[in-house]
Amino acid sequence: MRLPRSAAGWTMAVFGVLAAALGAVGLVSPAAQLALLGLDSPRGRAAGDLTPAFMTASSMAALNMGVYYVLAALADWRAFFRWTVPFRLLTCTVFTVAALTGRAPGVFVGVGLWEGAGALATAAALRYDRRRGGATVPAVRPAG
């Protein structure tokens, strides 16, 4: 079995496995996913209630993202690790601001903090790997 080869790879792998697992939970049982988030599952559906559609879309996105992160970790694709840091910080900002302004439930602050902590952990691991002179992975070159 292949494992991540760098500290940054491990941060990506852990986040990826958790994201994929939570995405799978949301696909199999949207009510369980809502409960994990501390949100009430509606008893009856009002006309136009798109909760199931949004749960399916966000859960599928989490599953896909988790798989991407794990594959990138196994390939030790450090450029991808670096790209995720600012975008995860952006996600942190959006979720936190949405919760603080009342646009989203307060539990979204936790989602934002999770993303921010993950981004900072990956950034710190990238720095650690660079300072210790970790092995480099050859660049992928186009054929021909």
**All structural domains of the chain with their residue ranges:** 7-40+50-131
> What is the CA 69 to chain-centroid distance, rounded?
8
Residue 76 burial (CB count, 10 A): 20
Buried b (16+ CB within 10 A) or exposed e, 51-72: eeeebeebbeebbebbebbbeb
Segment 33-56 shows an average pLDDT of 79
Per-residue model confidence (pLDDT) at position 66: 96
Q: What is the pLDDT of residues 71-107, one digit of tens each?
A: 999 999 999 999 999 999 999 999 999 999 999 999 9
